[in-house]
Amino acid sequence: MKQLVIIGTVWPEPNSTAAGSRMLQLISLFQKQEYNITFLCSASRSDFSYDLSQLSIATQTIQLNDSSFDTIISDLNPNVVLFDRFMIEEQYGWRVMEHCPNALRILDTEDLHFLRKAREVAFKQNRELIFEDYLSDVFKRELASIYRCDLTLLISEYEMELAIQTFKIDTSLLYYLPFLSEQTNEKVPNFNERKHFISIGNFLHEPNWQTVLQLKQLWKSIKKELPEAELLVYGAYVTEKAKQLHNEKEGFLITGRAESVAEVYAKSRVLLAPIPYGAGLKGKLFEAMQLGLPSITTSVGAEGMNGNLDWNGFISINENDFINKAILLYTDEEKWKNAQLNGYQIIEKRFKKTLFESDFMAKINELQHNLKSHRNKNFLGQILQHQSLQSTKYMSKWIETKNNRA
């Protein structure tokens, strides 16, 4: 049986983060092709970590900067290794290359970290993004990781265009694989059976926190026109500073972790997502479309999602527009119904699993059969793997030696 090893940044939490859901989607693709999967991770499990044994996936805790990993990966002898974000490839990629040189190495970016970082810098300096914002240390590390791998998965069409057009990365090294949907449109509560606004997002993710701060500023104007409405702000890992925003009199309610996203979405009438910066695809908006919940967001929030199709609600151009469109969508049943249908169309035409799974696995099989010639064409990747440029490898060895002496 074919062997896949996934090296995770964290243990997947699909009910806490979009990244957790994404990981389970990737697992499903490989299992359908009869891969035996082992998930390795150095992080501690939380109470909300997904029980991978339910999917017949073996798990093992690994150590950072420790040669015990070399034995583990050699014994597993995988056909494919999937790195969860570039930081994991930096830590373990050179070990995989040394001990399993014939394994296909895939990087799942989740989103381009350097893009999110560049936008964050521009946002916090209250200015437009400029090209130099991209050129951070994160940018250099992430691109080096892309070139060291045989294939990199990008979740957004915008990020594919940025990587190819702006940074001239060869298309043979990149693959567009967005969120995938298997869901059929089930009956959901109608307009009149719903009430209140909702926001959702893991509070440990900085763009989510900035979104909540944006909502705090915008909410009073919405509440003034809709005095009976409330805004329920859901999210895992609520921080103390977030709790301080809770105000029942204002109807601004920090409600914590949602036990079931489907249930809280079904009760709500409109999702508010004034996302100021970020990258990749936004899981909250993807799930809203799947579950028939219209939304108001920004151009960054909608980026890479609807293509030429109408949005699942409205994409605002400024704060006043966001406020006005939120009130309109909340009160106009016809526009709300049309928005819901738009969301279903986006999922059906752009994210249905059957649109991607066969082509993706065909790509994996093709690379495995032509791995030597594929790597020979990636000469920059070979340069980056030369011992003179492997600082992470020798730093790791130094840390391990230091720890052993201690």
- Give exposure, 226-258, as e/b (b: 16+ Cβ within 10 Å): beebbbbbbbbbbeeebeebeeeeebbbbbbeb
Question: At 311, is the secondary structure helix, strand, or coil?
Answer: coil
Structure tokens at 171: 């298309």
**Comparing C-alpha atoms, which of 320, 226, 307, 229 is closest to residue 274?**
320
H/E segment holding residue 98:
helix 86-99
pLDDT given for residue 384 in this prediction: 84
Q: Is pLDDT at 391 greater than 90 in this prediction?
A: no
Q: Count Cβ atoms below 10 Å from residue 11 Cβ, excluding itself.
A: 20
Residue 232 neighbours by CB under 8 Å, 6+ apart: 196, 197, 198, 199, 253, 255, 264, 268
Residue 30 neighbours by CB under 8 Å, 6+ apart: 4, 37, 80
pLDDT above 90 coverage of the chain, percent? 90
H/E segment holding residue 391:
helix 391-405
pLDDT category at 382 given cuts 50, 70, 90 is confident
pLDDT given for residue 385 in this prediction: 81
Distance CA 264, CA 60 (A): 34
Q: Name the more confident of 370 and 390.
A: 370
Spelled out in words, what is the top-level CATH class assigned to the domain 2-180+354-405? alpha beta
What is the pLDDT averaged over residues 77-91? Answer: 97
pLDDT given for residue 387 in this prediction: 64
Q: Name the more confident of 37 and 404.
A: 37
pLDDT given for residue 393 in this prediction: 76
The residue with tokens 């494919």 is: 80
Report pLDDT digits (tens) over 131-145. 999 999 999 999 999
pLDDT category at 196 given cuts 50, 70, 90 is very high
Fold agreement (2-180+354-405, 191-351): yes
Sign, CA dihedral 291-296-301-307, equals positive
Structure tokens at 219: 């909410």
pLDDT given for residue 401 in this prediction: 79
- Give exposure, 301-322, as e/b (b: 16+ Cβ within 10 Å): bbbbbbeeeebbbbbbeeeeeb
Determine phi and psi for 231, rounding to 5 degrees. -115, 115
pLDDT given for residue 389 in this prediction: 59
> Order of strands, edge to edge, in the sheet holding 197-200?
252-256, 231-234, 197-200, 270-273, 295-297, 313-315
What is the pLDDT averaged over residues 167-172? Answer: 97
Per-domain boundaries in the chain: 2-180+354-405, 191-351
Report pLDDT digits (tens) over 26-40. 999 999 999 999 999
pLDDT given for residue 210 in this prediction: 96
Q: Is pLDDT at 271 greater than 60 in this prediction?
A: yes
Q: Is pLDDT at 340 greater than 90 in this prediction?
A: yes
pLDDT above 70 coverage of the chain, percent? 98
pLDDT given for residue 388 in this prediction: 57
What is the pLDDT averaged over residues 56-65? Answer: 96
pLDDT given for residue 321 in this prediction: 98
Q: Count Cβ atoms below 10 Å from residue 224 Cβ, excluding itself.
A: 10
What is the pLDDT averaged over residues 220-224? Answer: 97
Question: At 27, is the secondary structure helix, strand, or coil?
Answer: helix
- Structure letter (DSSP) for residue 247: B
Q: Is pLDDT at 255 greater than 60 in this prediction?
A: yes
Structure tokens at 212: 């909540």
> Crossing angle for the helix pair 68-76 and 86-99, nearest 10 degrees?
70
Structure tokens at 374: 């594929």
H/E segment holding residue 92:
helix 86-99
What is the pLDDT averaged over residues 157-173? Answer: 97
Distance CA 57, CA 55 (A): 5
What is the pLDDT averaged over residues 216-241? Answer: 96
pLDDT given for residue 186 in this prediction: 74
Distance CA 137, CA 118 (A): 11
Q: Are 371 and 104 in contact (CB under 8 A)?
A: yes
DSSP calls for 103-155: SEEEEE-SS-HHHHHHHHHHHHTTS---GGGG-SHHHHHHHHHHHHSSEEEES
Q: Are 302 and 289 in contact (CB under 8 A)?
A: no
Burial class (CB in 10 A: 0-12, 13-18, 19+), 326: buried
What is the pLDDT averaged over residues 170-193? Answer: 92
What is the pLDDT averaged over residues 371-392? Answer: 83
> Crossing angle for the helix pair 18-32 and 283-290, nearest 10 degrees?
70
What is the pLDDT averaged over residues 119-142? Answer: 97
**From 3.40.50.2300, 3.40.50.2000, 3.40.50.300, 3.30.70.60, which CATH number describes the 191-351 domain?**
3.40.50.2000
